[in-house]
Amino acid sequence: MLELARYGARKRVRGALALSVGMSAFSVLYAAFYPSIASGFDVSEYVDALPPVFVEAFGLRAFGTIEGFLATELYHFAWVILLGVYLAYAAAGLLAGDVESERMDILLSLPVSRGRVVAENYLALVPGILLVNAVVAAVTWLATHAIGYPVAATDLLAVHLLSLPYLLCCAAVGLAFSAAASRASVAQRGAMATVFGLFLFETVVTTTDYAWLGALAPMRYFDPTAILVENTYDLPAAAILLAATLVLVAASVLYFRRRDV
């Protein structure tokens, strides 16, 4: 069982390790930069001068603390935007790439269902997502202790655990595009534009009378600042993201079963 998922996961080990190193470098860089922020910069004056929509979008409510600084610089930027868009891009090539290269015809000639192909291709991304979270959490904990501004291990564990539903949802968006498209480049551009567009949309409407429309964006349900600074763990929001992920994966399976490849 899960032979396709195991094969796909093994192919992505090197990429996951490279991504872990890159994200860890971001973490170390931000941690090394924080002492200069804490000692000689009027953070409150800087934040007050920014537009409220920008403050909300990047969680700048507690920028002067190590937790708030990392929530903004590492998690709101590198995690919510960069990693979310990257996973949508990676997932968008899962099926469409094989369809475009005609490898899908060979795969489907084997005794394997289309639904299994979709589901296991998606599951192949999960070990890499877990690896990146584990490595960056450990590196961030060590880096903050090294600079003398330690972040509690429980807070770091919580922010990474609660980021999993968000990242899985971004990957599911990419999978939906991959199931619908016949060219990898089309699926990837569509997935990236959708995830980043939802971020921009949620950012714009969050301080308006139409804030309720931001409920369409997965970013609405993952707030690193609330987790790290306020110790607020929004489990219902995580459940919503997991439910949305299941819906997107199920829709991808149903559509791919019916489409002509």
Q: Which residues of 31-63 are buried (b: 16+ CB within 10 A; e: fewer)?
A: beebeebeeeeebeeebeeeeeeebbbbbbbbb
Q: How far is it, in rounded angstroms, from Cα 114 to Cα 236?
A: 32
Regarding pTM above 0.75, the answer is: yes
Count of domains forming the chain:
1
Q: How far is it, in rounded angstroms, from Cα 56 to Cα 90?
A: 28
Q: What is the pLDDT along the chain (261 residues), one digit of tens a residue?
A: 688 888 889 989 999 999 999 999 989 988 888 887 766 555 555 555 555 555 555 555 556 688 888 888 889 888 999 999 999 999 999 999 888 888 888 888 888 889 999 999 999 999 999 999 999 999 999 999 999 889 989 999 999 999 999 999 999 999 999 999 989 999 999 999 999 999 888 888 877 788 888 889 999 999 898 899 888 899 999 999 999 999 999 999 999 988 876
| pLDDT value of residue 132 | 96
Q: Which domain holds residue 23?
A: 3-258
Contact yes or no for 96/182 (Cβ under 8 A): yes
| pLDDT value of residue 62 | 58
Q: How far is it, in rounded angstroms, from Cα 252 to Cα 257?
A: 8
